[in-house]
Amino acid sequence: MDYFHCNASRDQLGAISNLGLAHLGDAVFEVMVRAWLCLHGKASARGLHKAAVRYVAAPAQAKMVERILPLLDEEEGDVYRRGRNSSPHSIPQNASRAEYQSATGLEALFGWLYLQGRTGRLNELFAQMMEE
């Protein structure tokens, strides 16, 4: 199995919980943010972690996801909504419940796309989110 170039089947995807997809999608999104920061010279080595946290925190993700919702096809929208509507075990202090749920939906979508090997679509959505 090549975990950098996944090609999960519908059955495999269906066996993963929404929070499982979000768990993976959180990491995918963070790697993309870190790469974007490095490649765009957005932070010094010392400030990279702090800069990354600004983008991966739930309030920032909730704001950025609004930019891509109109671009999602029906199936992607369903995955986002299932992730958003899942019941988190706890909510961080720096986020409202609605922000955290939106961020969870985004992360579930990114995990779902990653597991299918749809990196082109991930990059397309990410680029829309990161537009200044």
Query: One-letter amino acid identity for 82?
Result: R
Angle between helices 74-85 and 97-115 (to 10 degrees): 130
For 106, residues 6+ apart whose C-beta sits below 8 A from its C-beta are 25, 29, 61, 62, 64, 65, 80, 83
Q: Which residues are catalytic?
A: 26
**Longest Cα separation, the chain:** 43
Angle (nearest 5°) at CA 37 between 70 and 34: 85
d(CA 117, CA 57): 25
Specify the residue for token string 């090997």: 117
